[in-house]
């Protein structure tokens, strides 16, 4: 993303704030894994959406007083010893080039600067990246600031920045769509690699190795989210991540995978027989999912209530399953459809946006996810694609990833 992208995001956020407001966003800290080892650091997505910076323990402060906005990023100070062990720290010039923020300080000066700002008498409200209803666990930094505000500045109101961020992230900009399209091309290479190497007796971790290798060859060192790659009975665990199972002749292989490119994610699911040839029962169920998906991509357009998307997927898929003789009553659809059929994608794989009760608009990107799980037949899979809403309809961003029985079998010949 260009620096202008992050600058525009900050401007849009601050335009939603009244005067005499302060907003604080924290990149976060590494999570301890064991002993003296941390998990790989992953920066808070709202912080990245506003700055483009993915370094730990970095802070964005935005102050709006007298109609003017002041932006400051607090960076970790240079430390030769720490950088020798854990890697170089981003410098002011580099951070400015990424974020287009003009004012910088160091994190060891943050506490003093925050106290000065709060004591000035000009701040009536502080916005923090938190969910006031407790749906999301707030970061320790946010909790610490809340404690200071409640203890020392009780007259200053605490507000959540999350509702504003959810509205901003709902509509994707052209540069975000471009990044998603590039991520789709790499996702395609990963899925094709798994299809082409698929064979009875192959272990799930071998499928994953093929996928990861294809991504690395295209400049992506880590999947966009923990890949779901399973076979046979393991397909009946929706968020499976063990990779220890073995695909036996006749088993379906399920994958739910994605790539992150320039901060934007894909989320694509495909299901295929490990031997490359669908059985009659597998064809029957796959066609139900495919026809449902095709139906959705033909009807989705601006003006439809977002809440109706999932409902329509369930209604239409039930009709397909009923016609196939699988499901007799709509009350029984939960036997074969175990999860929702639509969620937004973007900076997060389940993007944090405000979509409930809103009408679909151009620039929204969400999944059309049709899952069918028939335990009695031992067949479980999902067909998931990424839908971009356009001015007059929609576009399937992942349409070039084989999604018909004929195309999948042709790849696996």
Indicate the DSSP class of residue 377: T
Per residue in 205-245, pLDDT (tens digit) is: 999 999 999 999 999 999 999 999 999 999 999 999 999 99
- Conformation bin of residue 155: beta by default, left when phi > 0, alpha when psi is -120 to 50: alpha
CATH homologous superfamily for the domain 3-169: Creatinase/prolidase N-terminal domain (3.40.350.10)
At residue 288, the pLDDT reads 98
State the first-to-last Cα distance of the chain, in angstroms, to the nearest integer.
39
In what helix (H) or strand (E) does residue 63 lie, and over which residues does it extend? strand 59-65
Q: Where are the domains of the chain?
A: 3-169, 171-411
- Residue 140: is it exposed, middle or buried by C-beta count within 10 angstroms (0-12/13-18/19+)? exposed
Q: What is the pLDDT of residue 131?
A: 77
> Average pLDDT over the chain, rounded to whole?
96
Reply yes or no on whether the pLDDT at 308 is more than 80.
yes
Tell how many helices (H) and how many strands (E) occur in the chain.
Answer: 12, 16
Tokens at residue 366, please? Answer: 């969400």
Task: Report the share of the chain in percent with pLDDT over 90.
Answer: 97
Residue 133 has pLDDT above 70, yes or no: no
Given pLDDT bands bounded at 50, 70 and 90, which one contains residue 140?
confident
346-396 per-position pLDDT tens digit: 999 999 999 999 999 999 999 999 999 999 999 999 999 999 999 999 999
Q: Choose the CATH number for 171-411 among 1.10.1740.10, 3.40.630.30, 3.40.630.10, 3.90.230.10.
A: 3.90.230.10
The long-range contacts involving 175-180, CB below 8 angstroms and separated by at least 24 positions, are 175/1, 175/2, 175/5, 175/262, 176/1, 176/264, 176/346, 177/363, 177/365, 177/388, 179/1, 179/261, 179/262, 179/263, 179/264, 180/261, 180/264, 180/265, 180/266, 180/345, 180/365, 180/386, 180/388, 180/397
pLDDT band at 132 (very low <50, low <70, confident <90, very high): low
What is the biggest distance separating any 2 CA atoms in the chain, rounded to whole angstroms? 73
Report, as an integer, the average pLDDT of 75-82: 96
Question: What pairing do the DSSP bridges indicate for beta strands 59-65 and 68-75?
Answer: antiparallel
pTM of the model: 0.95
């Amino acid at each position: 993303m260009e620096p202008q992208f992050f600058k525009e995001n900050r401007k849009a956020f601050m335009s939603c704030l009244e005067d005499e407001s302060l907003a604080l966003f924290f990149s976060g800290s590494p999570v301890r894994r064991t002993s003296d080892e941390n998990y790989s650091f992953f920066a808070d997505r709202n912080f990245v959406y506003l700055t483009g910076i993915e370094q730990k323990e970095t802070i964005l402060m935005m102050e709006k007083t007298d109609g003017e906005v002041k932006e400051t990023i607090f960076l970790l100070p240079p430390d030769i010893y720490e950088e020798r062990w854990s890697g170089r720290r981003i410098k002011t010039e580099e951070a400015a080039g990424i974020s287009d923020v003009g004012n910088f300080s160091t994190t060891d000066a943050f506490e003093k600067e925050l106290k000065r700002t709060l004591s000035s008498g000009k701040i009536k409200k502080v916005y923090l990246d938190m969910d006031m209803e407790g749906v999301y666990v707030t970061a320790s930094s946010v909790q610490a600031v809340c404690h200071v505000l409640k203890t020392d500045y009780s007259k200053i109101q605490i507000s959540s920045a999350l509702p504003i961020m959810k509205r901003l992230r709902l509509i994707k900009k052209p540069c975000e769509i471009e990044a998603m399209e590039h991520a789709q091309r790499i996702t395609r290479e990963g899925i094709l690699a798994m299809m082409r190497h698929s064979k009875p007796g192959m272990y799930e971790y071998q499928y994953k190795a093929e996928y990861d290798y294809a991504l690395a060859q295209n400049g992506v060192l880590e999947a966009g989210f923990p890949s779901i790659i399973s076979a046979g009975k393991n397909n009946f665990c929706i968020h499976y991540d063990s990779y220890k199972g073995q695909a036996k002749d006749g088993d379906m292989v399920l994958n739910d995978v994605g790539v992150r490119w320039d901060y934007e994610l894909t989320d694509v699911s495909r299901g295929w027989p490990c031997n490359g040839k669908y059985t009659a029962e597998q064809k029957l169920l796959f066609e139900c999912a495919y026809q449902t998906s095709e139906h959705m991509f033909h009807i989705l357009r601006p003006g439809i209530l977002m809440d109706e998307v999932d409902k329509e997927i369930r209604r239409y898929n039930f009709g397909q399953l009923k016609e196939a003789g699988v499901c007799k009553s709509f009350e029984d659809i939960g036997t074969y459809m175990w999860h929702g059929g639509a969620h937004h994608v973007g900076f997060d794989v389940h993007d944090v946006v405000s979509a409930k009760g809103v009408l679909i608009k151009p620039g929204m990107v969400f999944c059309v996810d049709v899952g069918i799980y028939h335990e009695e037949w031992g067949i479980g899979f999902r067909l998931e694609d990424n839908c971009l809403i356009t001015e007059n309809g929609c576009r399937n961003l992942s349409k070039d990833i084989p999604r018909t029985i004929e195309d999948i079998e042709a790849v696996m010949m």
